[in-house]
Amino acid sequence: MAFLPFNITQKKKINVIIVGGGYAGLAALTNLLQFAPDTSVTLIDPNEHHLKITHLHETFRYPLADLLVPFADICKRFECRFIQAAVALDQENLATYQNSKQLTVNGEVLDFDYLIVATGCNNNDSENESSDEILHLSDFTQSSGAELMTRLLAQNDSTSEQIISVIGGGATGIQFLFEIHQFLNRIKHKAKLRLIHSAAHVLNQFPDGFATYTENRMRELDIAFVSNTYFRKQQAGKILLSEKATEKPFELPSNLALLFLGKKQQNIFTANAFGQIIVNKLSLPNIFTAGDCSYYHSLGSNSFSAQSAVRKGKLVARNILRHAGFPGLLEPYLHQDLGYIVNLGASDAVGWLAAEGNLVTGISALTVKEIVETQYDLLLAGIDTYLV
């Protein structure tokens, strides 16, 4: 369906506003300008840079700056406008925007023909109490993992053995866990690592082979695993926990806790199969959504993954052009994830490709991930190599 032809027969160029400069927002931007270069696009985001957030764990090896792409550079490359601002959008005001075709940002009234909401979603750890002994995913968007860990290890330096607790055995937590292990080896630090997870096995949202392979690697590296356990608090050199089954509280020694508790289900915009937002059971024909903030009523994948975000962003771009043209036939979202790779440090990985039962590990898995990442970098450069 990605190759479904469409004809653009318009008297004036389309004005499109994209709120959110993550994977979905930039995929929409690049595709709009690929198929209709005269489209007027305004990109709005509260940050100065696009962050390749799926690479944050790699900042134990590389500078954070390697993952930042200035929005000003992107918009200069694609000849569109960037406004740095935070825009609060909810179901109530979206219906108003549909009727007025206007959005007020920083006191300026912006007219639009189409609006794309690609604001993403927050992480569950954002509401937990902060302290000198706790790191959240958001901390790694401000400083590299190497800088943060070096500073915190120095602050907590003592004659006793330091213990670092990673909370959350999903993809993000696992990737950080293995990167931290390799970082500690590189700097010859003897801190011990522990993973705490609320389920019986790690990566429990994936096929069983993920957990088997990853937990074997953890045992080989002497990384402790505390399963079926909830995190409560980190304070004063200890971590407060509770058993999942009995809710019985207990504590363990811990000098530092890193929280990776997944993404928060809030500010999710429901959409029809074409990406148009639904409000009060009615589709808003000129307002689309894509990325982690969206849930499509369709056969396609609604997973919180970069590949789903990119595919949704590309889809809404094509559907905007279809809607603006003749005969206005829109394309349904049918994309299914083609695979998923979880890094286990710089030289190992586990994942599936093409079918969930097709497990790939080691160099093969790393090669697949590098190809996918190269595709996205090319997209930001204006070269679209996505075939499906």
Residue 345's pLDDT is what?
A: 95
Could you check whether 15-121+265-336 and 126-200+209-259 share the same CATH topology?
Answer: yes
Taking Cα atoms as reference points, which of 365, 56, 355 lies closest to residue 217? 365
Residue 49, beta-bridge partner list: 70
What is the C-alpha separation between 231 and 62, in angstroms, rounded? Answer: 30
Quote the pTM value: 0.92
Contact 254, 261 (CB under 8 A): no
Residue 1's pLDDT is what?
A: 47
Q: Which residues of 328-340 are buried (b: 16+ CB within 10 A; e: fewer)?
A: eebbbbbbeeebb
**Which residues lie below 8 Å from residue 37, measured CB to CB, with a gap of 6+?**
none
Q: Model confidence over 138-189: pLDDT tens digits?
A: 999 999 999 999 998 887 766 578 999 999 999 999 999 999 999 999 999 9
Per-residue pLDDT at 126 exceeds 50: no
Helix (H) or strand (E) holding 17: strand 15-19
Torsion, Cα of 246, 251, 130, 259 (10° steps): -70
What is the C-alpha separation between 219 and 223, in angstroms, rounded? Answer: 6
Tell which CATH architecture fits domain 15-121+265-336: 3-Layer(bba) Sandwich (3.50)
Going from the C-alpha of 203 to that of each of 89, 174, 294, the distances in angstroms are 33, 8, 23
As a CATH number, domain 126-200+209-259 is: 3.50.50.60
What are the residue boundaries of the structural domains of the chain, listed by start? 15-121+265-336, 126-200+209-259, 338-388
Taking Cα atoms as reference points, which of 332, 367, 334 lies closest to residue 353? 367
Q: Model confidence over 257-300: pLDDT tens digits?
A: 999 987 666 679 999 999 999 999 999 999 999 999 999 999 99
- List the structure tokens of 73: 């550079």
